[in-house]
Amino acid sequence: MPRFRYSKALRDRGLGYHEQGFMYFLLRSPWVRPGGRYYGMVREVCAQIGGEDADALYEFLTDRCRNHIAVSVRYYISEKRLFKLKNAAYAEIYKRIRGEA
């Protein structure tokens, strides 16, 4: 089961502990499922940042049951790349939610 992990790389992007926690739990909520409030925006950010790995990024950000290892194996993507994509997506989604983008 995935769990919240504080990231110093995200701290350097301006997302502190509370902002990272907010993003983690928001992305695992029903609001990002099909028909949810943020579904389209999250899918758009995943496509923009992830490119060909957009589905892997979306699953990693939103799936409550799969951790980074399971997603890496399923989509043949390195764990390092998955975490880099996650960091970029967190920063972009947070900006959009806060109305800065």
pTM above 0.75, yes or no: yes
What is the rounded CA–CA span in Å between residue 1 and residue 37? Answer: 25
**CA pair distance 2, 48, nearest whole angstrom:** 24
Amino acid of residue 59: E
Distance CA 54, CA 74 (A): 13
d(CA 51, CA 79) in angstroms, rounded, equals: 16
How do the pLDDT tens digits run along the chain, 101 residues long?
Answer: 456 666 777 777 778 888 888 888 888 888 778 888 889 999 999 999 999 999 999 999 888 788 889 999 999 999 999 999 999 998 999 899 888 54
What pLDDT score does 66 carry?
Answer: 84
Alpha carbon of 62 to those of 12, 100: distances in Å? Answer: 23, 22
